[in-house]
Amino acid sequence: MAATTTRDAAAGPDTATDTTTDVLGVADGMSSLDAAQFAAHAADGGADIDGDPGSAEERHGLLRFATAGSVDDGKSTLVGRLLHDSKSVLADQLDAVERTSQARGLATADLSLLVDGLRAEREQGITIDVAYRYFATPRRSFILADTPGHEQYTRNTVTGASTADLVVILVDARTGVVSQTRRHAAVAALVGVPHLLLAVNKIDLVDFDEDVFDRIAAEFDVYCRELGIGEVTAIPISALHGDNVVTRSERIRWYTGPSVLEHLETVSLDGDPAAEDAGGPAGAQPAADPAGLRFPVQYVIRPRTADLPDYRGYAGRIAAGTVRAGDRVVVLPSGRDTKVTGIDTADGSLPEAGAGDSVVLLLADDVDIARGDLIAGVHDAPPPVTEFTATVAHLADKPLRPGLRALLRYGTTAAPVLVSAIEHRLDIDTLATDAAADALRLNDIGQVRFRLAAPLPVEDFRPGGTVGALLVVDPSDGTTLAAGMAGDRRSALRPRPGGVVQKDGTVTVTPVVVPAARDEDRCPGDRPAAERAAGPANHRGPLTDPDTLSTPGP
């Protein structure tokens, strides 16, 4: 947490996303898993809306993770095994899976049926859409998204990965790293997923061979370094038989690291409350500073009742930063500035609120504010632009071409947008960029330049997606054509010098990274310090005067 980043206005977009190393994970020292404890705590839940210190969530937080990897590599089987062996499957669910497995003449229960819940999925034995499951161990709570491996359903994989703190990428030990493995690793890195876990699966089918595992880990390592992923933990597993899924395998003695579940339980969590409170280097923020507030206005609350004839509040969820009563803020895109006079909730007013909180802001001046506006801190308010570039994952059959007119969803805004250029298309296998590409087609990833009719405060994407994330929507039927991350995500990731794939798991559970080297260990999405100092990457559009926030008319 003692980050070495210098905090100035230009560093703003990155400051909220520091990865933190969870020292507690080691200090707790609970390495072997006790089934009885699981049973007792399997469904542990919060008991008080503001935190019951006795519940798993409050002690060790919530980890959202997603599976990824090519078709049939064993993602759903792994998820089923994880749920089953951690005693998170209730008796009737297991009965149903056993009944279906028997009816199909299988000798043992096919655990993938726990998540492949659609008729078509069960009939074909593949995953088509994301399944969400919720479970808890004594150490942590989990939301897991089991995603499809088939290329045709990449949009569903992207959906599952977009909110993940960690992605488990599976590889079939017999076939090794394939194109889909690379595509999913790239998607995870580009959307800013902080942690990757490489699960080399079906190790039972290659005689638990260490060389096979090493070869695959090395191959993946080359790709990750090229991509700029900071850290990957590799684990040899058999999802079918349970080796290294919840308990460590007796059959893979050469591997000394944690099981998949142990890793999930101990990996450091971003958005760690302590880190968020500190807001970076201690003392860097004056107490009254709005600390980079981003508050997209969702709805204007006007009761117009007898006792509240003049109440006017702006409802929204804080996307970044904090807000306190008395803070000066600027309303974008208009650029008017005003003061926060109160923070309202149904439970009373608050002295301060932070990222993730749904609140109502009261302002001093009767400025004209509507849904779609952004209320931002005065010190680092993003300048409105009429042109910007974004890294885009194309998710629909209809191609994305220059000249396409669509609807942009950004924050709470929906605005007309024009695709002005395809800057390049990314070759997923080689990571080379093709500047000659004339369109992005289904499942392509590339860099796209957009033009707006009226200026909007578009700014660089931040991992987590509450800032800088966008959708391109077909205005005729509402189809989501593409998802984008403002800025140039590809060049925001840097090639890494050393090996990044770790097979003993020590790197991720031990804070080996000394504060001075913190910059090296930032999550993949963060831009290097030098680049950050140069200012936001995407505002190459009409020049904006950062002091007045005024933009030349389009």
Partner 1 sequence: MTTATTAPATTPPTTTASATTPSATTPSVSTPPASTPTARTAGGRRRGHLHDLESEAVHILREVAGQFDRPVVLFSGGKDSVVVLHLARKAFHPAPVPFVLLHVDTGHNFPEVLEFRDRAVQRAGARLIVAAVQDWIDDGRLAERPDGTRNPLQTVPLVDTIVEQRFDAVIGGARRDEEKARAKERIFSLRDAFGGWDPRRQRPELWDLYNGRHAPGEHVRVFPLSNWTELDVWSYIRAEGIELPEIYYAHERPVFRRDGMWLTPGDWGGPRPGETVERRSVRYRTVGDMSCTGAVESAAADVAAVIEEIRATRITERGATRADDRLTEAAMEDRKREGYF
Ligand X SMILES: Nc1nc2c(ncn2[C@@H]2O[C@H](COP(=O)(O)OP(=O)(O)OP(=O)(O)O)[C@@H](O)[C@H]2O)c(=O)[nH]1
The SS3 call for residue 249 is coil
Q: How far is the CB of 147 from ligand X (least distance, A)?
A: 7
Give yes or no for residue 287 binding partner 1 (CB under 8 A): no
Give yes or no for residue 37 binding partner 1 (CB under 8 A): no
Find out whether 7 and 280 touch, Cβ atoms under 8 Å: yes
Find out whether 384 and 455 touch, Cβ atoms under 8 Å: yes
CA 288, CA 279: separation in Å to the nearest integer?
A: 13
Nearer to partner 1, 302 or 401 (CB): 302
CA 86, CA 33: separation in Å to the nearest integer?
A: 9
Give yes or no for residue 112 binding ligand X (CB under 6 A): yes
CA 85, CA 318: separation in Å to the nearest integer?
A: 38
1-34 in b/e form (b: 16+ CB < 10 A) is bebebebeebbbbbbbbbbbbbeebeeeeeeebe
Give yes or no for residue 76 binding Mg ion (CB under 5 A): yes
Nearer to partner 1, 15 or 233 (CB): 15
Residue with tokens 């005693």: 87
Site string for ligand X, 113-152 (x = CB under 6 A): ------------xxx--------------------xxx--
- Residue 346 CB burial class (10 angstroms; 0-12, 13-18, ≥19): exposed
> Distance of alpha carbon 206 from its chain centroid, rounded?
33
**Contact with partner 1 (CB under 8 A) among 2, 9, 106, 118:** 118
What is the size of the binding site for partner 1 (CB under 8 A)?
Answer: 91
The SS3 call for residue 66 is strand
> If residue 426 lies in a helix (H) or strand (E), which one and from where to where?
strand 413-426
240 binds, among ligand X, partner 1, Mg ion, none (CB under 5 to 8 A by kind): ligand X
**Contact with partner 1 (CB under 8 A) among 303, 416, 495, 515:** 303
**Contact with ligand X (CB under 6 A) among 22, 44, 204, 373:** 204
Q: How far is the CB of 347 from partner 1 (least distance, A)?
A: 4
Site string for partner 1, 425-464 (x = CB under 8 A): ---------------------------------------x
The string of DSSP codes covering 79-100 is HHHHHHHTT-S-HHHHHHHHHH
466 binds, among Mg ion, partner 1, ligand X, none (CB under 5 to 8 A by kind): partner 1
Both structure tokens of 418: 């024009």
387 binds, among Mg ion, partner 1, ligand X, none (CB under 5 to 8 A by kind): none
**Contact with ligand X (CB under 6 A) among 24, 42, 62, 71:** 71
**Contact with partner 1 (CB under 8 A) among 8, 34, 48, 438:** 48
Task: Tell me which stretch binds partner 1 (CB under 8 A): 27-35, 218-226, 249-257, 293-301.
Answer: 293-301
Site string for partner 1, 119-158 (x = CB under 8 A): xx-x-----xxxxxxx------x-x-----------xx-x
**Contact with partner 1 (CB under 8 A) among 27, 36, 91, 516:** 91
Residues between 213 and 242 that touch ligand X (CB under 6 A): 238-240
Q: How far is the CB of 446 from partner 1 (least distance, A)?
A: 17
β-sheet with 62-69: strand ranges across:
131-136, 141-146, 62-69, 166-172, 195-201, 232-236, 501-502
Nearer to ligand X, 183 or 202 (CB): 202
DSSP 304: -
Residue with tokens 């080996």: 512
Q: How far is the CB of 332 from Mg ion (least distance, A)?
A: 43
- Measured N-to-C along each axis, helices 154-162 and 179-190 cross at an angle, to the nearest 10 degrees, of 40
CA 197, CA 235: separation in Å to the nearest integer?
A: 8
Nearer to partner 1, 115 or 492 (CB): 115
CA 544, CA 551: separation in Å to the nearest integer?
A: 5
For 222: left if phi > 0, alpha if psi spans -120 to 50, otherwise beta; the answer is alpha
**Contact with ligand X (CB under 6 A) among 72, 151, 434, 474:** 72
Amino acid, single-letter form, for residue 478? G
Residues between 487 and 526 that touch partner 1 (CB under 8 A): none
Nearer to partner 1, 190 or 198 (CB): 190
Q: How far is the CB of 118 from Mg ion (least distance, A)?
A: 11
**Contact with partner 1 (CB under 8 A) among 10, 24, 62, 415:** 62
Which residues contribute to the site for Mg ion (CB under 5 A)? Answer: 75-76, 127
Write out the residues near ligand X by the rule CB under 6 A.
Answer: 71-77, 112, 125-127, 148-150, 201-202, 204-205, 238-240
